[in-house]
Amino acid sequence: MRIFITVLLFCFTLPSIAFSSETITIAIERNALERIQALSEILNVPIDKLEQIPDVKINRTTADVIILLRSLRMGGISSPIEYIEVPNARRSTAEVARGRAVLCSQQLNEDTIAVPGYKDAFLVSAPITRYGEFQKGFYTLLENTELLTARSATEINQRGKGIIGQHWNNDKQVLQNMGITNVIDAPTFDCMVKMLNAGRADWIPLEIATTQDFSKVLNGIRLIPIPGIKFSLLESRHFFVSRKHPRGKEIYGALQKGIKELRKRGFIHKILTQAGVFNPRTDSWTILNAEEMKKGK
C-alpha cells in the first residue's frame, strides 16, 4: 500500500489544501517523518504494514506512529496513508482541528488542546501512555559535572538552566510545581539541543534512553542523564482525531478498537519499552514528584 507524503510550507496563513477522502491524512513533525522513512527503508516494508515490533532501535515518536497505524489497520481501516509535514505539535493539532488532517501522529496530553476554539474540535482516544507512566530524566552534557551530582529539585534549579519546547506546557507546570523555575523554552527540538550545546541552557527533560549508560546522541551531541533521579509528567497521553474531518468518526471508532486489541496483546507496553518510554532499569531511581504522582492515581 502506498504511503503519500505531503509537505506543507507555512507563511503567515495556512493555505486551503484539499486531500483525497480516500486517504488517511496524518499531521507529523519533520524529524518523526524522517525516522519512519528511514525505518521503512531498513525493514524494506511500509510502516503501516508492520505487524511485529521491529527489532531495531526506535524512539518514542516512531513508536507512536507504529501504534497509530497498527491500531487503524486492526480497526479495519485499509486506506492509504498521507502525511502532512508540520514544524511542531502545536501546528499538528491546528491541522487536525481544522480538519485538514484527521489525526496527529503522536500521542499528546489533553492540555495540548485546552486552547480557545478547540473545545469541540477533537475526539480523544483511549490513553496510550497512562497516568504517571510517562517519566523523564534530566539530560545534560558530560562535562557538566556539578549538575550531574544534583540529587534534588532544589539543587537542579540552583545548578543549571533547563530548556523545554515552546509548547511543552505540562512539563513546564510539573517542573514549576517541583520548584524548578530556572527554565527557558525554544520553538523546536533541534533548537533546544543547539542551545544546550552552545551553553545557553544546561539540561533538557527527556525520556530515559535504553542504552547501557542511558546516554542519547542528538544531532551528534552526546547527552547523559543526572543519575538516579527522574520525574513523572502527571498525565495520560492520547491520539487526537478531528471532528471536522469527513472521516473523523469512522477513524475514531477504528482507532479505539485497534488500541483496545493492542493493549490486550501487550503490544503497546512492549513497543514503548523498546522506545525508552518505559525503562525497567530505572525502576529504582527516585521520582522527585512521587507524592504528587500518588495523589493523582
For the chain, the structural domain boundaries read: 3-130+236-265, 135-232+282-296
Mean pLDDT to the nearest integer, 169-188: 95
Name the CATH superfamily, with its identifier, for domain 135-232+282-296.
Periplasmic binding protein-like II (3.40.190.10)
Identify the CA nearest to 140 among candidates 110, 157, 123, 162: 162
Over 50: is that where the pLDDT of 133 sits? yes
Over 50: is that where the pLDDT of 8 sits? no
Over 60: is that where the pLDDT of 233 sits? yes
pLDDT of residue 86: 95
Over 80: is that where the pLDDT of 1 sits? no
| Cα-Cα-Cα-Cα dihedral sign, residues 105, 192, 186, 236 | positive
Backbone angles phi, psi at 71, to 5 degrees: -65, -45
Q: How does residue 9 score in pLDDT terms, banded at 50, 70 and 90?
A: very low
**Distance set, CA 68 to CA 64, 110, 232, 239 (Å):** 6, 17, 23, 8
Residue 30 CB-density burial (10 A; 0-12 exposed, 13-18 middle, 19+ buried):
middle
Over 70: is that where the pLDDT of 21 sits? no
Over 50: is that where the pLDDT of 52 sits? yes
pLDDT of residue 83: 97
What is the value of pTM for the model shown? 0.79
C-alpha span between 246 and 243 (Å, rounded):
8
Over 50: is that where the pLDDT of 6 sits? no
Question: What is the SS3 assignment for 39?
Answer: helix
**Buried b vs exposed e over 266-293: b needs ≥16 C-beta within 10 Å?**
ebbbebbbbbbbbbeebeebebbbeebb
- CATH number for the region 3-130+236-265 comes to 3.40.190.10
Angle value at C-alpha 218, between 213 and 222, nearest 5 degrees: 45
Mean pLDDT to the nearest integer, 218-246: 96
HSE (side-chain half, CA atoms, 13 Å) at 37: 13
